[in-house]
Amino acid sequence: MQAIRAITRLSTKSTLARPGAQVMLVRGFRSSLFNRESEPMAPAQVKKDWSKPEDKLEINISPEEFRKANVRGTPSNILAIKNLPLYTTQADIMNFITSVQHVDAESVKTMIFYRSSAGVLNGTCFVEFAKGSDAQVVAMANKKRMLDGRNITVEFTDKLPYRSRFIGSASGRAVVFSGLPVLFPVPEVKELLRGFKIAVDSTERPIESVPVPRNGLSGMIFVKMINEAEAHRVVRKFHNTSFKYNNTNYTIKAQVAY
């Protein structure tokens, strides 16, 4: 109850662009990363973007051209896409992939955003394809592309990382909250969420508190929601909101975790 009583205000401090705004990042790769009314929150928008990329990059490669391209790693059906902005979503990666001709959403088997043992993203997404040939085409097409001003690195790898233990099987319906007070008690987290009528998963441990590194200034928790729609609703409600706890102001960051 302390968290509820201590909240003096809960107001949006969004620096995001106006609803409906879109940013062209590379040819055939649109993203409304700065639009809190669509990606990464709205499942309908994600589905639309995955299945209907706006443009297709044509690429036909011969074995000789592929060798000369010198894509790092031994060719396989798994790619590591690196140097991504930390707010990149599954929909953004899928647009990145399906902008290549003859590659569609069905080509992708698994997608994992790598997180450290402390639950922190490092800007790397691992994508497993149904066929090695699809991975090769995507690697060639995206070898020198940019995303939001960043040079994206695409490499082959022979294995997928383990999905973060904080997410487990709840990928897509888990929400990570950061910017919280250090050692924010889980019971108070539950009380706070209950006060906002948020439907948390009924499993034994729906809330996981991430250990705070020494000298850490803020805490992080993962909360498993009952479904994907609820996860996106929670992000819309809490992202970039502020509250006061123990006479200290905090700004909550919320993101759907994959």
For the stretch 203-258, pLDDT in tens is 767 888 877 766 666 778 889 998 888 888 888 888 888 878 888 888 888 888 88
Q: What span, in angstroms and rounded, lies between the C-alpha atoms of 121 and 84?
A: 10
User: How sure is the predictor about 28, in pLDDT bands with cuts at 50, 70 and 90?
Assistant: very low
pLDDT at residue 243 in the model: 79
pLDDT at residue 67 in the model: 57
Does one domain contain both 110 and 194? no
Q: What span, in angstroms and rounded, lies between the C-alpha atoms of 225 and 61?
A: 44
pLDDT at residue 189 in the model: 79
For residue 223, what is the enclosing H or E element? strand 219-224
34: in domain: no
- Cα angle: 179, vertex 167, 36; to 5 degrees: 50
213: in domain: yes
Does one domain contain both 145 and 204? no
pLDDT at residue 64 in the model: 56
pLDDT at residue 216 in the model: 64
Structural domain that includes position 222: 165-257
Strands 207-209 and 121-129: unpaired
Residue ending a domain, choose from 95, 124, 157: 157
Does one domain contain both 133 and 204? no
46: in domain: no
Does one domain contain both 215 and 242? yes
Higher pLDDT residue, 63 or 158? 158
Residue 86's CATH number: 3.30.70.330
pLDDT at residue 205 in the model: 77
Residue ending a domain, choose from 157, 189, 216: 157
Q: Which two tokens stand for residue 96?
A: 């990145």
Helices (H), the chain: 2-6, 43-51, 63-69, 90-98, 132-141, 186-195, 228-238
User: How sure is the predictor about 39, in pLDDT bands with cuts at 50, 70 and 90?
Assistant: very low
Mean pLDDT of the chain: 72
CA 231 to chain centre: 12
> Over the stretch 68-83, which tens digit does the pLDDT of each residue have?
555 677 888 999 999 9
Q: What's the total number of domains in the chain?
A: 2
